[in-house]
């Protein structure tokens, strides 16, 4: 389904919803979409200056000032915007009412529309209608949700780029090439008795190789896309009582994690985000690394290692006042060896309690080959330097480069991996000189997987999962 498709009436009652957050404010917007909304607006709206053309006779992009009324009772003074199909967000007739803010006012306006023939919109229904009417594709619909929920500048810019359709165009081109190869194979099946070959197998293998390379590039872009969307995954690790929870609270500027002098207090990880100089860090406070003394703590430590494995940045927190820090040097080396692609920073905590902190930090740096930064998480000393170092170590990870080929969604990533596997299966079948029908089946599968991303192939369960995460009114 493309953005140029003609809108298809969805049938049923038009929908209405409050499009702005419910609460006290100067203004709010209540919107409705669907067949008959202009007639509903005519019944409840009275222009401030008579005589006026009815709203139902107004051209699109018309703004009118007047009053909403329920019989003889005035509800509010409003500005009404008229949008006509297909030139609206949903590609249907739409009316947006700007009224005064406040839950009582917006509630009365919404109820007035419901009493006059609308039904309450479901979560994401306006965007879903835009997709079903061909106004946007599924990838762009998801981008709208990501833009609304963006928590960093990078995430916002990525969503805007997706909304502009760069990735959609890339996938459409990929799908067209797949479709062409599928069509040629289908022709061979239609003329199987004549034993015709409309595309040589060498040429088909070459085309599939090019398609595989393009799919692989998109798959490889997912790591950066995830960083842009979710932030830099930062695992705070170390022994019990190193001050991990205190550091988390200090970076967040709030008491998010429970701090105790008793070892093993953190049994499960705690995850929160903070932004420094437009970079979002997704911090995880993990259970202390040691030999577990009970089953619950053992599970917490296992989860800590899971977070370490998925981290983009590891902060190994060390109590610099402890006498036995040689064992921790070994631990740092082991982690660095096991996760060589992950950024690792050693953070020497409690420097205010150790007269020999500087000498110990130099020794740790020499022994591990890793940068070491001293802080006092409890007193906030060195935190600004720590944030700057975190930014420097992750510079470029969350920066937008070639956004037109950037994959940010796990759903898209999994669909592309499935398409890659189908393409590989097709090549292996060609090498084995298998039947044309089997090769065509794998190419059709790859075609469907790519089509699922933009909505060319519609899965109702996928649609429900996507749009139920939207707020009502969007």
Per-residue pLDDT at 259 exceeds 80:
no
Confidence of residue 1 (pLDDT cuts 50, 70, 90): very low
Q: What is the mean pLDDT of residues 101-118?
A: 95
- The residue ranges of every structural domain in the chain are 15-137, 148-222+404-454, 232-393
Cis peptide before 201 (omega within 30 of 0): no
Give the integer Cα–Cα distance in Å for 232 and 343: 11
Contact 453, 416 (CB under 8 A): yes
**CATH architecture of the domain with residue range 232-393:** 3-Layer(aba) Sandwich (3.40)
Of 128-132, 288-292, 445-449, 469-473, give the lowest mean pLDDT range. 288-292
Least confident of 83-87, 204-208, 321-325, 454-458: 321-325
Q: What is the mean pLDDT of residues 19-42?
A: 94
* pLDDT tens-place string over residues 161-215: 888 888 899 999 999 988 888 888 877 776 555 555 556 778 888 889 999 999 9
**pTM recorded for the entire structure:** 0.74
Tokens representing 89 are 């967000």
- The kind and range of the H/E element at 281 are strand 279-285
Cα-atom radius of gyration of the chain, to the nearest Å? 29
Q: Which residue has the tokens 């008795």?
A: 193
Rounded percentage of the chain residues whose pLDDT exceeds 90: 38
pLDDT at 239 over 80: yes
Provide the CATH number for the domain formed by 148-222+404-454 in this structure.
1.20.120.430
Q: Is the pLDDT reported for residue 457 higher than 80? A: yes
Q: Lowest mean pLDDT of 28-42, 127-141, 278-292, 444-458, name the range.
A: 278-292
pLDDT, tens digit, 9 for 90 and up, residues 305-342: 787 888 889 999 988 877 677 788 888 888 889 888 88
C-alpha torsion sign, points 89, 90, 95, 96: negative
CATH class for domain 15-137? Answer: alpha beta
């Amino acid at each position: 389904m493309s953005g140029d498709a003609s809108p298809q009436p969805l049938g049923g009652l038009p929908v209405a919803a409050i499009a702005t957050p419910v609460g006290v404010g100067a203004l709010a917007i209540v919107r409705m979409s669907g067949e008959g909304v202009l007639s509903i607006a005519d019944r409840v709206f009275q222009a401030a200056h008579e005589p006026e053309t009815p709203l139902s006779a107004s051209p699109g992009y018309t703004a009118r000032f007047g009053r909403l009324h329920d019989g003889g009772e005035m509800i509010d003074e409003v500005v009404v915007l008229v949008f006509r199909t297909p030139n609206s967000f949903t590609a249907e007739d739409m009316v947006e009412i700007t009224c005064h803010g406040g839950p009582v006012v917006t509630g009365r306006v919404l109820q007035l529309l419901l009493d006059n023939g609308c039904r309450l919109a479901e979560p994401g229904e306006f965007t879903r209608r835009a997709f079903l009417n061909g106004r946007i594709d599924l990838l762009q619909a998801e981008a709208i949700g990501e833009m609304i929920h963006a928590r960093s500048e990078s995430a916002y810019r990525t969503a805007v780029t997706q909304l502009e359709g760069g990735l959609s165009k890339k996938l459409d081109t990929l799908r067209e090439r797949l479709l062409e190869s599928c069509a040629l194979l289908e022709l061979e099946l239609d003329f199987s008795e004549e034993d015709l070959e409309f595309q040589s197998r060498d040429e088909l293998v070459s085309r599939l190789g090019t398609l595989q390379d393009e799919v692989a590039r998109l798959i490889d872009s997912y790591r950066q896309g995830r960083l842009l969307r979710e932030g830099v995954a930062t695992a705070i690790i170390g022994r019990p009582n190193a001050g991990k929870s205190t550091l988390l609270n200090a970076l967040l500027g709030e008491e998010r994690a429970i701090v105790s002098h008793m070892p093993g207090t953190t049994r499960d990880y705690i995850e929160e985000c903070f932004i420094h100089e437009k970079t979002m860090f997704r911090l995880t406070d993990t259970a202390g690394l040691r030999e577990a003394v009970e089953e619950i703590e053992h599970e917490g430590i296992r989860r800590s290692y899971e977070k370490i494995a998925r981290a983009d940045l590891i902060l190994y927190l060390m109590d610099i006042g402890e006498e036995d820090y040689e064992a921790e040097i070994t631990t740092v080396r082991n982690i660095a060896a096991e996760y060589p692609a992950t950024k690792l920073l050693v953070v020497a905590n409690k420097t205010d309690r150790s007269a020999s902190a500087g000498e110990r930090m130099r020794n740790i740096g020499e022994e591990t080959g890793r940068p070491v930064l001293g802080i006092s998480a409890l007193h906030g000393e060195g935190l600004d330097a720590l944030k700057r170092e975190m930014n420097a170590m992750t510079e470029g990870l969350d920066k937008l480069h070639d956004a037109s080929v950037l994959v940010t969604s796990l759903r898209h990533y999994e669909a592309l991996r499935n398409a890659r596997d189908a393409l590989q299966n097709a090549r292996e079948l060609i090498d084995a000189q298998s039947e044309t029908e089997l090769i065509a089946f794998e190419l059709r599968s790859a075609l469907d997987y790519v089509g699922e991303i933009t909505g060319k192939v519609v899965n109702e369960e996928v649609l429900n999962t996507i749009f139920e995460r939207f707020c009502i009114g969007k």
